[in-house]
Structure 1
Amino acid sequence: MFHCPIRLLFVGALLVSTLFCTNGMAAQLPAADTAQLRRHLVALTTTPQPRNYLHEASLNQAADYIKAELAAAGAHPTEQSYQVQGRMYQNILSSFGPVDGPRLVIGAHYDVCGEQPGADDNGTGVAALLELARLLGHQPLTCRVDLVAYTLEEPPFFRTPQMGSYVHARSLHEAGVPVRGMIALEMLGYYDDRKNSQDYPFKPLRWLYGSRGNYVTVAQKFGNGRFGRRFARLYKKTAALPVKRFKAPAWLPGIDFSDHLNYWHFDYLAVLLTDTAFYRNKQYHEAADTVDRLDLRRLALAVDAVLATVVRLATE
C-alpha cells in the first residue's frame, strides 16, 4: 500500500480536504478485539427498551454497563448528573494517565434517537470508547486522557445546552481546565465497498473522495488549530484502512453533527471521527440499524488507529 495525499481547494464549497490512503499498523501496541466490540454492541442494543431520553431505565442500564467496563479497565468512573424536564440524566467520566495538567478528551454518546437499537449510531462509538479504555489501561501516559460517555446527544436535545457534551464542555470551561483537544467517536462501524455507496453534502465532492463508502473520516472545521492537523496526520499514518480528512466551514452540513460541536462552542479544539453517518449508512435512525449490518473488523482497525494516535499524543 502507499500514502497518497491530495490537497485541493474546492472553491464552490470553500472546502479544503486531504485524502489519505494508508496501511500501517502501529507497532508494539495491543490490537482491538472484535469479540469485545461485539459484546459491547450486544449489551447496548438489547436493553429492554431503546436507550432514548424517554426510557430512563434503559439509559441507566447502558450507563451502568459503561461504568462497569471502565472500572474493569482500571479507571474510576464517576457520574456527571443533571436534570432535564424533571428527569435525571448522566454523563459517565473516566480518566487515564496523570491527574494534573492539560488533557485529551475522547467522547461518544450512548443515547439513541427514537425507537431503534442504534448499533452504529452510536453503539459503535461507545464500543470503541470501552475498547480504548481496556487498551489504554496498559499504556504509560504522560498526558491525562479523559474518556466520556455522553447522554442526550440525539433529538430533541441536539444543539441545545441539555446535550451531555454541552454540560461536560461547559464544566471544563468554567473550571478553567486546559484541553489539548477533543475527539468525538460517532458511528464507526458501517462500510460498503460497492460503487455509489457513498453520498456527500455536495455531489461534486464525489469526484474528490470517490463513490465507495470504504473509509473513515476525520472531520474538522477551518481554524481548528494544530490539534486537528496533528491528529489527522498521526491517524492516517497508523490506520490500516483508508482515511479521508474533511476540513470545511462549520456551516457545511454534517461537519458539526455530533458532540464535538459543543467543545467548539467553548473554544476548545475538536475533531470528529466517523464513517460519515447518513451519507453512507441508510439505516441511520431506523430500526434496521442493527449489529449484524456492521463490519467489526474495520471497526477494530479504526480503534487501533485511535489508540496509536492517542498514545502518541499523550506521550509527546
Structure 2
Amino acid sequence: MRALAAALLALMPMADAAAAEPATLAGHVEFLATLDPPRNFDHPGSLDRAAAYIEEQLERAGWTTREQPFEVRGNTYRNIVARRGPADAPRVIVGAHYDVHGDLPGADDNASGVAVLIELARMLADYEPAVGLELVAFTLEEQPAFSLGAMGSAHHADQLVAAGVEVRAMLALEMLGYFRDLPGTQRFPVPVLGWWYPTTGNFVGLIGRWRDRPLMQQVQAGMRAGGDVPVHYLASPLDFPGLDNSDHRNYWPHGWPAAMVTDTAYYRNPNYHTRFDIPGTLDYQRMAALVPALAAAVRSLTQTEDASPP
C-alpha cells in the first residue's frame, strides 16, 4: 500500500519544521486531487493510495501512526491516526477527511484540509503536549457515507467511547484553501449575518453550536496570536444551515466540544462539488500562513491537563 507514496515522497524536499511552505502544500493538494480514479467511496483502491501518502507524510514528520480499518458494503476503508502525549490524559482531536465527492478533483474539498493537517504535524514535530493529541485523516465523509451513517469520523468517535477516552475538543479541518479579497465574495445562509461578519472572503471561519462557543473563542485567540489570517467564529443553534456538514458532527452525540475550521465552502467557493475545484484555484500563501495559526491554537488546547476550555 505504501510503495507508490514512498517513491513520490523520495522526490519531494522536506519542509522546514519551523515554517509551512506554499509549494509543499501545493504538492500535497496536487497528489490528492489528481488521483485516478478519484478518491471516493466507489474507488477504495484510490482511497488506499491517498491513505498511504498521508501515512508516510505523518511518519516523516515524526509521528507514530496506525490505521483504523472498518468495512462498509464489503469494502475496507481506513482512517489514519497519529497520536502523541499521555495515553491516560484527556485528548484533543484534529482531523480532516481525505475522500472526495463523486468523480471530482476535490482540491479545496478536502485536499486543502488534509494538506494543512500534514503541515500542522510537521510544525508540531517536536511538541510534547500535556494531554493526548490525535491528528486524524478521515475516510468517507462525503456521500453516500454521509447519509449512510458510515463516516470514518463516526467510527473514530465510537472507538474513543469504547476505549473510555475523555475528549477535550475536536476540530474538523474542512476546506481551507479558497480566499478572495474582493468585497461581496463572502455569502451567508442568512443574509443579515453580513451586518456582523465580513463580506470579503479572506477569513477563516470557526463553526459550531452555541455550547461550543468557549472552544471556538479559545481557538480564535490562539490562531490570532499565532498567525495573520483573520478568524471569526459563529456559534449557532443546531438547525442553522451547514452547521453540521463535516466530521465534527460525529463527536457531538458523545457530549464533546467540536467545531469546524473552514473557508466556508459553498458560501464562498463557486467551485464546490464541481470539476472546477482544482489545485490552481487555491491560495497556498494563505494556507501556509494558516498552519502556524492552527499550531498555536492546538498548543493552547493541549498545554495543560485542565480538561475544559476556559
- TM-score normalised over the length of structure 2: 0.89
Partner in structure 1 of residue 226 of structure 2: 238
1:64 equivalenced with 2:30 (yes/no) = no
Structure 2 Cα separation of the partners of residues 257 and 113 of structure 1: 13
Select which of 100, 103, 116 maps to 1:115.
Answer: 103
Select which of 209, 228, 252 maps to 2:240.
Answer: 252
The residue correspondences of 1:123-142 to structure 2 (distance < 5 A) are 123-142=111-130
Structure 1 Cα separation of the partners of residues 243 and 67 of structure 2: 29
Instruction: Give secondary structure in 2 for the equivalent of 1:90.
Output: strand
Structure 2 Cα separation of the partners of residues 160 and 217 of structure 1: 27
- Unpaired stretches in structure 1, ≥5 consecutive residues: 1-28
Select which of 22, 33, 48 maps to 2:21.
Answer: 33
- What count of residue pairs does the alignment treat as equivalent? 288
Partner in structure 2 of residue 95 of structure 1: 83
1:73 equivalenced with 2:82 (yes/no) = no
Deviation, structure 1 residue 124: 0.6
Partner in structure 2 of residue 166 of structure 1: 154
Select which of 180, 190, 198 maps to 1:210.
Answer: 198
- Unpaired stretches in structure 2, ≥5 consecutive residues: 1-16, 305-310
Structure 2 Cα separation of the partners of residues 222 and 136 of structure 1: 30
Q: Deviations over 1:63-90 (max 9, x none)?
A: 0101111111112211111111111111
The residue correspondences of 1:47-58 to structure 2 (distance < 5 A) are 47-58=35-46
Q: Deviations over 1:246-304 (max 9, x none)?
A: 11112101111100000012211111100000000010011110111000011111111
Give the letter aligned to residue 282 of structure 2: L
Instruction: Give secondary structure in 1 for the equivalent of 2:245.
Output: coil
Select which of 165, 173, 178 maps to 1:190.
Answer: 178
The residue correspondences of 1:251-290 to structure 2 (distance < 5 A) are 251-290=239-278
Larger mean CA deviation between 132-141 and 293-302 belongs to 132-141
Determine if contact 1:228/1:269 at 8 Å carries over to the other structure. no
Deviation, structure 1 residue 164: 0.3
Partner in structure 2 of residue 3 of structure 1: none
Structure 1 Cα separation of the partners of residues 280 and 71 of structure 2: 35
Q: Deviations over 1:26-73 (max 9, x none)?
A: xxx922221221111111112121101101111110001011111111
Determine if contact 2:67/2:79 at 8 Å carries over to the other structure. yes
Deviation, structure 1 residue 159: 4.5
Q: Deviations over 1:88-140 (max 9, x none)?
A: 11111111233331111000000000111100000011001111111111223
Instruction: Give secondary structure in 1 for the equivalent of 2:211.
Output: coil
Larger relative contact order (CA 8 Å, sep ≥ 6): 1
Larger mean CA deviation between 284-293 and 201-210 belongs to 201-210
Give the letter aligned to residue 255 of structure 2: D
Partner in structure 2 of residue 12 of structure 1: none
Larger mean CA deviation between 80-89 and 235-244 belongs to 235-244
Q: What is the RMSD of the two structures over their aligned residues, measured on CA atoms?
A: 1.4
Determine if contact 1:184/1:258 at 8 Å carries over to the other structure. yes
The residue correspondences of 1:301-316 to structure 2 (distance < 5 A) are 301-316=289-304
Instruction: Give secondary structure in 2 for the equivalent of 1:158.
Output: helix
Structure 1 Cα separation of the partners of residues 177 and 30 of structure 2: 14
Determine if contact 2:226/2:295 at 8 Å carries over to the other structure. no
Structure 1 Cα separation of the partners of residues 158 and 214 of structure 2: 22
Give the letter aligned to residue 185 of structure 2: S
Kindly, what percent of the aligned residue pairs are identical? 43
Determine if contact 1:96/1:137 at 8 Å carries over to the other structure. no
